[in-house]
Structure 1
């Protein structure tokens, strides 16, 4: 089955559910055929080759209206929240695997009588990647928390917050049901975009850290960073390109719910962040409030990146405070 957007008779975009196959009428053995889908030609592509991509023609497809006619974008937003979170987790999974291969290689590869893990410049590059990876991991799984709260409903969300109170510092980052829905709306495009771009760049660094070996198509898939890089390249394209995500964030901030979103963000940051985070919030929020929609559209990527960095920084601080782990403290310090 698939969920798709199409124009209904009134000319507005609506959401539809469509089975991939349908029963052929007047057959005794219930034969099926493609539901108005005509495959024109398969396409070659850089990555994700295990998943076929083709040019399709849809003709006389049977579909069933989802939700209210003419409200397709709103209806499909629920699905996009989930797929964009999946996209972010996938990006982190690829990136994490690349980092693991890079670290393992550094422990055994000798250059000039030294293993790579004992060469400061190499370790510094790996450390920078690790800090960025941990920051985006915190940001992504905070958004997963928001998705969970929004799907549970208000009564269960209250139980979630009560559970967080038992863990001390975690209560600072666990919002109410109403606040979680607003935070989820603005942070979903942020994590989708930032993790995809960071993973692509990060895997390029991991591939480079192995030298020529990293560039090879390795038959042993657990070592094939080249394939990880190729497959990760699509993550910034499907489910919305970087500019589309930036535009979405700006529209949320300047839209009818923008005042509420900014209020919830401020409340959350003031409760969870330190003085440095508060100052950065005042600067960022002042810019968003003072500039018009068209001005912010031009700066969409920067606005989105700064918001993601700010929220991730607060989450890293809370993580460091939670158990006093020295590595977590150092990661938080370097992120800032």
Structure 2
């Protein structure tokens, strides 16, 4: 099992877990916590009568049109304009298991509770939002408790977010994936705008760079992030997002005519010096790296070298005025900073 598989398993939740309403799951009935969180459990008992209004349900024709829908994308406008009304109807179908989509955690009950809590996509109904939150069996007890008490309080409209009460490493990973999906769609839209007028040869060179970038970013997130704790999914996804942001930042600078400066020779010398230190680090230092081993760093370094070469090949086509040495130096300095982090963790 690879580290990427571990992250995916940590973040991905089966669609079947969404159909809890039919099973009658309720926070106030959880025998394991019968003597804990009395306030939120009492609130949940008080809203047992709340159900989704018939008028809010999709018609048969709408259900057919929404087959395979994605309520998360519809509500938050991920890769498309936001449509909270369609998100509400889609979430109902997902909750009932009839959407015929591969729904993850941010679907069904989660989105539907958000719709009614915020009054966006349906009339505001905090009691119904609470009822839906009370039926969540995937969150940690403290998360359910905080969510229910917040909804029962005086929070203003459009202020509720499911991730506002995260206490567990597991849910940190789920929420990290949610926000990464939103940010990733925005980032891709910005890159699409930057590249819209490029020529076919430039696009072809960029596609090769993207392939190399994806390989390095995956290697960095999988191989050079400690995967030993419950926050492993959040940490891995966070590193992946940082690298994707750095990629876009450099592309934006080059497109704006802001060429890097500096010589490759000193940058390469410093990279090699730090790399040797990392590879020769003692056992006491490596203990601070958790699951990261020297072989992981070595493998990532090889992939990074191909990534740097891909940047130079792309720039030769798209930005011939940019000094290859200066661009390589910039990329090398960024990689040196990543490697230096292993030594700083032990200091």
Q: TM-score range by the shorter chain?
A: under 0.3
TM-score normalised according to structure 2 size: 0.24
Which structure has the greater CA radius of gyration?
A: 2
